[in-house]
Chain A
Amino acid sequence: METKLKYYLQIADNALILSHRLSENCSKGPFLEEDLATTNVALDLIGCAESIYEEVALQEGKGKLGDYFAYRRKENEFLNVILVEQPNGDFAHLMVRQFFIDVFHFYFFTELMNSMDDFLKGLAHKTIKEVTYHLKRSSEWMVRLGKGTEESKHRTQVAINKFWKYTHEFFIENIVDKAMLDNEMGVDLAKIQKDWKLKVDEIFYLAHFSIPSNDFSIKGGKDGVHSENLGYILCEMQFLPSKYPDAIW
């Protein structure tokens, strides 16, 4: 597959898999309004993923539908970062995972608005509005949890410590990222890493959280090497098209 289309899939797969995780939480939120708000984020993300899959299908020109990329690919063909596969756990885990990815998405799509690729540029302009709101909401939650009760602060710090090792992968430049940066269609991940760190520092300062000192890093998702969680996600997500390949609405 062409490098550019792999880059498209890296973006789309992050959105799809995180959306699936958030959709698992539907009807399990702590109260109605919060349930609705998290599910709305899931809807934004699946909308983003779908528009990219349609474009990949179009540009690839092999007569596939966008759905193919969600429902017919195998685990090692998914190019999402490993953080988005991680289970929801308690509300603190769900929100910390969301915060880390929202900060990344915010700076990623901000930079992507300067892409020389028309599709990515258009996608970035549309998506930045959604992720700006996602970041506002998850940042507020981080501060609320940090300044809430002893228990909310403790649980959230536990989630931070657990997910920290998955965040470095956002910024590891693989062959696809490098090629796209060189031809001015992709973003500079080193720059985004600096912005990401500054934002996380700011919110952690406001919320009284500490940055884990352990810089151990888990990576591989962007090249198709995943945690065991992705297999279970795909098993559920792809069940129907696998069992009834010709099913239509």
Chain B
Amino acid sequence: MKNKDNQGELWEVFIQSKAGQPYKHAGSVHAYDREMAIDNARDAYTRRGEGTGLWVVKSKEIVAVTPNEEGYFFDPANDKVYRHPTFYEMPEGVKQM
């Protein structure tokens, strides 16, 4: 048995709340295989009409920034105001940008 607590691998769950919207991280589930992962994600996170789309991906397949990389990954953006499009007026009626 690969996993000593016998509940399968960990999978991350992403939900799309409406067509055209980005997928957002909702949480995680345990499962033995792909079918079980998407079923468990459905049962745990979308039973009350939360979504129109659902992704699951093995947690170990996600590439993430480690805490000791945070400094040189993110800090250089802080003092460069010209990188942010804050000088434009948002047209009326645009809800998502």
Contact = CB atoms under 8 A, between A and B. Distances in A.
A30 B36 CA distance: 14
A133 B47 CA distance: 12
A114 interface: no
Interface string A65-103: 000000000000000000000000000000000000000
Contacts of A133: 42
Interface in B1-42: 5-8, 29-33, 35-36, 39-40, 42
Chain B interface SS verdict (over half) = mixed
Interface residues of A, number: 13
A138 to B, nearest CB: 10
Greatest chain B CB density within 10 A among A32, A37, A140 is at A37
Chain A interface SS verdict (over half) = helix
Contacts, number: 34
Interface in B34-93: 35-36, 39-40, 42-44, 47
B4 to A, nearest CB: 13
Interface residues of B, number: 17
Contacts of A33: 7, 29-31, 40, 43-44
A233 to B, nearest CB: 25
Interface of A: 30-34, 36-37, 40, 133, 136-137, 140, 144
